Amino acid sequence: MTLLGRPSASEARSEPGADPSTGAASRPSSLAAYVRAYVALSKPRVIELLLITTIPVMFVAAQGVPPLGTALATLVFGTMSAASANAINCYIDRDIDRAMRRTRRRPTAMQQVTPRGTMVYGLTLAVLSTVGFAVFVNWLAAGLSLFAIAFYIFVYTLLLKRRTAQNVVWGGIAGCMPVLIGWAAITARLDWAPFILFLVVFFWTPPHTWALAMRYREDYAAANVPMLPVVAGDRRVLLECVLYSWATVVVSLLLWPVADTTPLYPVVAGALGAVLLVQAHRLYHQVRAGVTGPRLRTMGFFHLSNAYLALLFVAVTVDPLLANVVG
């Protein structure tokens, strides 16, 4: 779970059956390869990021270990929901994917899966995930899941991605939804705590994505996708990365009073935030000093931001367990 609406470094990897040197079509030659092509449409590495935010919030909502059946159902249908949005995104963006080195090996770009097959796969998963949430979890989780799919497809992919440099800022809302879905799955309602974590992911998304986009700006330019690093200079991009990183860290600390956490959470959140901010400021100071291009090492910040989010949500998971032990 990029989180929904965000690219991932793993997208640069080869897809099964693709010819990376020519970009020519390569139909799967076996059932296993055919299955792998459909799995690749789901963008499993992106879904992993989504699960990183879904699981911890269920622990907070349950104030301990969540009910196993509900948690498993949420993970299964949440995975299907994210896979449906990712597959439909591949269908819509297959022209962009063919133009970008980073994505030209996706099954749709390589014609390993037909456009019709891709759309049927995505729509089927959307229906099954929504019905599954409604039947086995609750209607609120089902509605939030359906909203996330629709937002990613209609708002991010169709409306924002090709038109504005703010695409990942507002389009990233879809990637924040697993936090609300996980909370709703356990409590059948929403509260301030999940909205705080929603905002953490919301503010974390732009600098994380722009760091990767700076590495692949030529790809986005070739595909006419106006990512911020394509339409603005490095100095402005990194300044915004600093500002959004500060917002991420400040909002993350608000969970302490809102969710009444133990001291563990703010200590971990503060330490992780300090590391994130140091790296963001370091990149900004480098660009102000005239450092440009690959020497900026923005991919280091990209990987650091991944680790930041993962470890922050580990603290979110552990904190209610610790509270039960000491309480």
In sequence order, what DSSP letters do the residues of 255-280 get, joined into one string? HHHHHT--THHHHHHHHHHHHHHHHH
Taking the mean position of all CA atoms in its chain, how far away is CA 4? 4
Q: 19 — phi, psi (to 5°)?
A: -105, 100
Q: Which single residue is written with the structure tokens 């986009």?
A: 213
The 10 Å CB-count burial string (b at 16+, else e) for 21-32 is eebeebebeeee
The helix/strand/coil state of 226 is: coil
CA dist 192 and 181 (Å) reads 14
Report CA-CA distances (Å) from 194 to 57, 185, 281, 315.
7, 12, 28, 15
Determine the pLDDT at residue 126.
98
User: How many H-runs (helices) and E-runs (strands) does the chain carry?
Assistant: 15, 0
CATH value at residue 224: 1.10.600
- Is 10 inside a domain boundary? no
Does residue 46 carry a pLDDT above 90?
Answer: no
For the stretch 235-249, pLDDT in tens is: 999 999 999 999 999
Q: What integer is the mean pLDDT of 52-73? A: 95
Residue 26 belongs to a domain: no
Is position 215 within any domain? yes
In a domain, 240, yes or no: yes
Is residue 22 assigned to a domain?
no
The total domain count for the chain is 1
In a domain, 8, yes or no: no
Residue 141 covered by a domain: yes
pTM summary value: 0.89
d(CA 273, CA 252): 9
For residue 184, what are the domain limits? 35-326
| One-letter identity of residue 67 | P
Residue 11 lies in a domain: no
